[in-house]
Chain A
Amino acid sequence: MSEALKDGPRMLPYVSAITEGVRQVLEEQDNAFVAGEDVGQAGSVFGYYQGLLAEFGDRRIVDTPISEKGIIGLGVGAAATGCRPIIDIMFMDFLGECMDEVANQMAKMRFMFGGGATLPVTVLTMAGAGMNLAAQHSQSWEAFLAHLPGVKVLMPSNAYDAKGMIIAAARDDNPVFVVMNKMSLAMQAEVPAEMYEVPIGKAAVVREGSAFSIFAMGRMVHEALAAAKTLESLGVDCEVVDVRSIQPFDSETAVASIKKTHRALVVHEAVRFGGFGGEIVAQLQEEAFDYLDAPIARVGAPFSPVPYSPALEKLYIPNAERIVAEVKKVLGI
């Protein structure tokens, strides 16, 4: 079991772990600042910048207009010229407003310039469904981002990772997206007070097992753990791997797990078709084909936008039950 999921003396909710990570980065790096919509006075609509304006002032906690193109552009331009911006895109869905700045500018600038530009910019954004916020406030677009050479993409499933990933992202000299989950904000984990990094490009085995590997992303890690518990009672010993780093992807840990279990399932909240799970499956069949005893199963959202109605949203979001059902199907039990 990882540090993150153990009971410990210093428990913090995910939301406060974000605050702490950002605060420590601002203390460490003089040229770091936060910019985004309602990050200052309001402390973010999710509350994770509460208190930072009072602590750091409006030079370093910058409230912006509702202008996502401008906000990401600000991050790119400032990063290229000596700052280390932490850019806030309130809901991941709003990346639609600034996809050019992300995909054609931020992601490619260094390469196009022949290595001439360095972009130490961090983007914090909130993904996920579950709050009846409908089709434009609930999406998980990490696969879009992971498809862009030039950016890194992290998905913290817990408070420990949230803080450590923000610090790792801010210290990295590349554009890094930290894709957080709005349903996890109150979730507690042990979070050390000191600064630490969760290494970029490293998955975490959050439950060891011998018979089946479940590769889960973001909030689905907790559903996978719940599924593993149910499956344990059915005599199936599951390993759960928190993918954590989407880009770069830690295929080494994934392959090692497969070599042990020979069977696997991938699960994410994003739409199944074209989701990041497909990439994991492809890499595993390339690198560990001989170790696989069954096709790798995939669990994700159905091929529709996120529905508003609680009745439909419940059916839409992948959960432990669906993971269990798919695992049973693979095993024929």
Chain B
Amino acid sequence: MAKNITNKTLIDLHSCMVRIRRFEEEAGKLMEDGKIPGALHLYVGQEAVAAGVMAHLSNKDQITSTHRGHGHVIAKGGQFAPMFAELYGKSTGYCKGKGGSMHISNMALGILGANGIVGGGPPIAMGAAFSNKFRKTKQVAVTFFGDGASNEGSFHEAANMAALYQLPCVFVCENNGFGEYTRQTNHQAVTDVADRAAGYGMPGVVVDGMDVMAVYEAAEAAIKRARAGDGPTLLECKTYRYYDHVGVRGMGLTYRTDEEVDAWKQRDAINSFETLLVKQGVLTAKKIENVYARANDEIKEGVAFAESSPFPTAEDLLEDVYFVGAGS
């Protein structure tokens, strides 16, 4: 483990992962109980990636997220109440109920949106990074995308341009082994998406996405490099989603074995980090329990807030289509 890392950072990384895990478990239940409409793509299993990367970003830094976006939003500072409200389609949600899970966003937190379009994020992050360089700020834009998304032209164009213009952009590929129900070996001929970095002229790094410290350290290097003006990095995190592509049980298709899922769960990022932190005396069983208890309280409050919030009304339908007011 890195020497210069403080106990506070370790504790924050842990609680970030726990908050994501608990939020997602609850959201999954609420979807399956029919309380949350639409489609939720849940992040359970991949928590170390969002936590490890976002630890190096401030609210000023930007991210683009994916259809599997709740974890990114939480790690970037998202609060449970407006998140649950958004999933419920309520007017108090982060997007006033207009976007839902696949479009959850908050500009104040630097979240340029989850995205319903696979590969929608990378060009937007590249554009934000261009803006950061253009405006001479020290902001960094990070784009999260899946192994499946790495086959979209949009990713390739964004990567080439980010490298060409030496933009403060970090490409984080969350390789969870599947695009929907298609295994990586059936959708691309490379094993490491990071290999593609060489083709754009940027470094490509592979890390164990189930090891939050490994993600943390690799992300630190990539984000520092971007912030220093030295250009983009493609950081591939090997990870796994425990739930189905959509929801918890999903459509019940057989495309992977229980043994495979269990094998990944054996390497669960949260469990192994807890073991490590207890061994190092950073956390105790009691303190860990408190982290879960706090997350559970946050969930209770968040769900209550969502359930008691009003739905948007007819007037809201035509609002926000255009900016209305004086231009500058």
Q: Are B153 and A67 in contact (CB under 8 A)?
A: yes
**Which residues of B does A touch, CB under 8 Å?**
37-39, 89-91, 95, 97-100, 102-103, 115-120, 148-149, 151-154, 179-182, 186-188, 251, 253, 255, 311-314, 316-318, 321
| Interface segment out of the listed A36-44, A109-117, A194-202 | A36-44
* Docked CA distance A136–B317 (Å): 16
* Docked CA distance A135–B317 (Å): 12
- Chain A residues whose CB sits within 8 angstroms of the CB of B151 once the complex forms: 65-67, 70
* Docked CA distance A131–B91 (Å): 19
Q: Are A305 and B321 in contact (CB under 8 A)?
A: yes
A-B contacts, 22 listed (Cβ < 8 Å): A37-B179, A41-B253, A41-B255, A42-B253, A63-B182, A65-B148, A65-B179, A65-B182, A65-B187, A66-B148, A68-B152, A93-B116, A96-B117, A132-B38, A132-B89, A133-B39, A137-B116, A308-B99, A308-B102, A309-B97, A309-B98, A312-B89
Instruction: For the complex of A and B, list the 4 residue pairs with the smallest distance between their C-beta atoms, beginning with the closest.
Output: A309-B89, A308-B100, A136-B116, A311-B311
- Chain A residues whose CB sits within 8 angstroms of the CB of B186 once the complex forms: 41, 63
* Docked CA distance A323–B179 (Å): 41
Q: Are A65 and B188 in contact (CB under 8 A)?
A: yes
11 further contact pairs, Cβ within 8 A, besides A69-B153, A134-B98: A42-B182, A42-B255, A133-B39, A134-B103, A136-B120, A304-B318, A305-B98, A308-B99, A308-B100, A311-B313, A312-B89
* Docked CA distance A47–B313 (Å): 35
* Docked CA distance A69–B118 (Å): 13
* Docked CA distance A132–B103 (Å): 12
Which B-chain residue is minimally distant from A64 (CB atoms)? B187
For window 298-325 of A, CB contacts with B under 8 Å fall at: 302-305, 307-312, 315-316
Q: Are B102 and A315 in contact (CB under 8 A)?
A: no
Q: Are B118 and A66 in contact (CB under 8 A)?
A: yes
For window 270-314 of A, CB contacts with B under 8 Å fall at: 302-305, 307-312
A42-B180, A45-B180 as given contacts; A97 in contact with B152, CB under 8 Å? yes
Q: Does A94 contact B (CB under 8 A)?
A: yes
A39-61 vs B: 1/0 string, CB under 8 Å?
A: 00110010100000000000000
Q: Are A307 and B311 in contact (CB under 8 A)?
A: no
* Docked CA distance A41–B187 (Å): 12
Tell me the smallest distance from the CB of B91 to a CB of chain A, in Å.
8
Q: Are B119 and A131 in contact (CB under 8 A)?
A: no
- Chain B residues whose CB sits within 8 angstroms of the CB of A96 once the complex forms: 117
Tell me the smallest distance from the CB of B64 to a CB of chain A, in Å.
14
Tell me the smallest distance from the CB of B256 to a CB of chain A, in Å.
11
- Chain B residues whose CB sits within 8 angstroms of the CB of A302 once the complex forms: 317-318
Q: Pick the contact of B37 from A45, A94, A137, A310 — CB < 8 Å? A: A310
A132-B89, A311-B89 as given contacts; A66 in contact with B119, CB under 8 Å? yes
Central interface residue in A133, A309, A312, by most chain B CB within 10 Å: A309
Q: Pick the contact of B90 from A37, A69, A309 — CB < 8 Å? A: A309
Which B-chain residue is minimally distant from A42 (CB atoms)? B181
- Chain B residues whose CB sits within 8 angstroms of the CB of A305 once the complex forms: 98, 321
Q: Are B116 and A132 in contact (CB under 8 A)?
A: no
A137-B116, A309-B311, A310-B89 as given contacts; A67 in contact with B316, CB under 8 Å? no
- Chain B residues whose CB sits within 8 angstroms of the CB of A67 once the complex forms: 151-153
* Residues of chain A at interface, number, CB under 8 A: 37
Central interface residue in B90, B115, B149, B314, by most chain A CB within 10 Å: B314
- Chain A residues whose CB sits within 8 angstroms of the CB of B312 once the complex forms: 307, 309, 311-312
A42-B181, A65-B151, A136-B116 as given contacts; A303 in contact with B318, CB under 8 Å? yes
A82-99 vs B: 1/0 string, CB under 8 Å?
A: 000000000001101100
- Chain A residues whose CB sits within 8 angstroms of the CB of B103 once the complex forms: 134-136, 308
For window 125-166 of A, CB contacts with B under 8 Å fall at: 131-137
* Docked CA distance A312–B37 (Å): 13
* Docked CA distance A41–B256 (Å): 11
Tell me the smallest distance from the CB of A105 to a CB of chain B, in Å.
14
A307-B317, A308-B103, A312-B98 as given contacts; A66 in contact with B179, CB under 8 Å? yes
Q: Pick the contact of A37 from B99, B153, B180, B314 — CB < 8 Å? A: B180
- Chain A residues whose CB sits within 8 angstroms of the CB of B116 once the complex forms: 93, 133-137
Tell me the smallest distance from the CB of A57 to a CB of chain B, in Å.
15
- Chain B residues whose CB sits within 8 angstroms of the CB of A63 once the complex forms: 182, 186-187
- Chain A residues whose CB sits within 8 angstroms of the CB of B311 once the complex forms: 309-312
* Docked CA distance A316–B313 (Å): 11
A42-B253, A311-B313, A316-B317 as given contacts; A136 in contact with B98, CB under 8 Å? no
- Chain B residues whose CB sits within 8 angstroms of the CB of A41 once the complex forms: 181-182, 186, 253, 255
* Docked CA distance A137–B149 (Å): 17
A97-B117, A136-B116, A302-B317 as given contacts; A308 in contact with B89, CB under 8 Å? yes
* Docked CA distance A16–B318 (Å): 38
Q: Are A136 and B37 in contact (CB under 8 A)?
A: no
Tell me the smallest distance from the CB of A73 to a CB of chain B, in Å.
10
* Docked CA distance A66–B311 (Å): 35
Which B-chain residue is minimally distant from A311 (CB atoms)? B311
* Docked CA distance A65–B188 (Å): 7
* Docked CA distance A128–B223 (Å): 41
Tell me the smallest distance from the CB of B5 to a CB of chain A, in Å.
36
